[in-house]
Amino acid sequence: MSGADEDERAEFLRDALAGLSGRPKTLPGKYLWDETGSDLFDRICSHPDYYPTRREMTLLPRVAREVAALVGSRVSVVEFGSGASRKIRTLLDALDAPAAYVALDISKAYLEAAVARLAPDYPGVAMTPVCADYSKPVQLPHGAAPRPLLGFFPGTTIGNFAPEQARNFLERARETLGPSHFLIGADPTRDAPRLGRAYGAAGGLMGDFHLNLIARMNRELGSDFDRTNFRHEARLCDDPFRVEAHLVASAPARYRLGGQTIAFEAGESIRTDTSHKYAPEAFQTLAASAGWEPVRLWVDDDSGFSLHLLKA
Ligand SMILES: C[S@@+](CC[C@H](N)C(=O)[O-])C[C@H]1O[C@@H](n2cnc3c(N)ncnc32)[C@H](O)[C@@H]1O
């Protein structure tokens, strides 16, 4: 194991012990994203229940043409949480002679494979995969993204941050990008049945996606959690409105992790992720508080899914 891998494992263990020793029990959502997690999420995106991808992809072609006119030519795009790097195609197709694409993601093997698939279709665009954790300060590799710059954060991933964390992320992104535009997707949906289908079911894929975190923890941290003792549940919560993902223990159990015992009562859960739902005005206020000036807003008629163009 390399030094960097050892540091990552030590951080994962620290975070898991801290999260599972507290009440309620939590695990940071960023650990959902190993290669299996990224692959499962890509399958979720094409499931009919998972409306955010469908709605964003309906909006994006029109938005991309207008963004292209607003940001000018020879722009470099930096995508945060690039995943399968599918949506970027719509943006690159619309932009005038884009110079470079930096795909930034925490899921290393998946990121590198996604950029390797994309690159042959855009020979004029310099492509750089950057494996980094955007919940910390990120510096772009020297020369990878010549100005002017356009940040891109689709997939309503901003919703994984609570408002204060989202503001911190937007401030860090401003430091990473410097003077730039930033295109961000946000979802205001509060329709309980629609959210229940998207986040609770998606053909069982959501359960597989969250339960994979237990498999990852056992494999990478040597814990002995019994995956079959947990079932996935999506919960709608208020103040602020959000969907929480939980893994609920069916029976009381005691598991070993990093030399410690983690005890569960029947019905006790681990929160594995949160999706905050940001209405357009609330998101614009948040972005402005992080130094981003709202330039343009596009809203999907069906769901209210919004794409915000900001400027710093
Ligand atoms: C909801 S998916 C969105 C993927 C894609 N952008 C889309 O719109 O379909 C979130 C992406 O962010 C990445 N991600 C999650 N937490 C991260 C972190 N802390 N740092 C960097 N990438 C992260 C995941 O690996 C995943 O690819």
Give mean pLDDT, residues 31-48: 97
Residue 33 Cβ < 6 Å to ligand 1: yes
Q: Degrees (nearest 5) of the Cα angle 160, 35, 261? A: 75
Whole-number pLDDT of residue 129: 98
Amino acid at 308: H
Residue 187 Cβ < 6 Å to ligand 1: no
Give mean pLDDT, residues 213-239: 98
Contacts of 272 (CB under 8 A, 6+ apart): 26, 27, 29, 32, 210, 213, 245, 246, 247
Whole-number pLDDT of residue 1: 74
DSSP string, 214-238: HHHHHHHH-----GGGEEEEEEEET
Q: What is the pTM of this model?
A: 0.97
Give tens-digit pLDDT for 205-222.
999 999 999 999 999 999
Whole-number pLDDT of residue 67: 98
Give tens-digit pLDDT for 273-285.
999 999 999 999 9
Residue 274 Cβ < 6 Å to ligand 1: no
Residue 154 Cβ < 6 Å to ligand 1: yes
Residue 11 Cβ < 6 Å to ligand 1: no
Report the alpha-carbon distance of residue 152 to residue 307 in Å, rounded. 10
Task: Record the tokens describing residue 231, joined without a space.
Answer: 């079932």
CB 24 within 8 A of CB 244: no
Give mean pLDDT, residues 227-245: 97
- Range list of H helices, 178-265: 192-195, 205-221
Residue 3 pLDDT > 90: no
Whole-number pLDDT of residue 174: 98
Q: Find the 251 Cα to ligand 1 centroid distance in Å.
A: 32
Q: Find the 82 Cα to ligand 1 centroid distance in Å.
A: 6
Select from 180, 197, 213 the least CA-distant residue to 291: 180
Whole-number pLDDT of residue 201: 81
- Which residue ranges does the chain devote to CATH 3.40.50.150? 51-189+279-311
Task: Record the tokens describing residue 123, joined without a space.
Answer: 């020979």
Residue 82 Cβ < 6 Å to ligand 1: yes
- CATH topology for the 51-189+279-311 domain: Rossmann fold (3.40.50)
Give tens-digit pLDDT for 136-188.
999 999 999 999 999 999 999 999 999 999 999 999 999 999 999 999 999 99
pLDDT band at 94 (very low <50, low <70, confident <90, very high): very high
Q: Find the 146 Cα to ligand 1 centroid distance in Å.
A: 23
Whole-number pLDDT of residue 49: 95
Report the alpha-carbon distance of residue 107 to residue 29 in Å, rounded. 12
Give tens-digit pLDDT for 5-34.
899 999 999 999 999 999 999 999 999 999
Residue 87 Cβ < 6 Å to ligand 1: yes
Contacts of 99 (CB under 8 A, 6+ apart): 74, 75, 76, 125, 126, 146
Whole-number pLDDT of residue 2: 81
Report the alpha-carbon distance of residue 150 to residue 287 in Å, rounded. 16
pLDDT band at 265 (very low <50, low <70, confident <90, very high): very high
Q: What's the whole-number average pLDDT of the chain? A: 97
Residue 203 pLDDT > 90: no
Q: Which of 38-52, 82-96, 198-212 has the lowest mean pLDDT?
A: 198-212
Q: How many helices (H) and strands (E) does the chain have?
A: 9, 13
Q: Find the 252 Cα to ligand 1 centroid distance in Å.
A: 33
Task: Record the tokens describing residue 17, joined without a space.
Answer: 């012990």
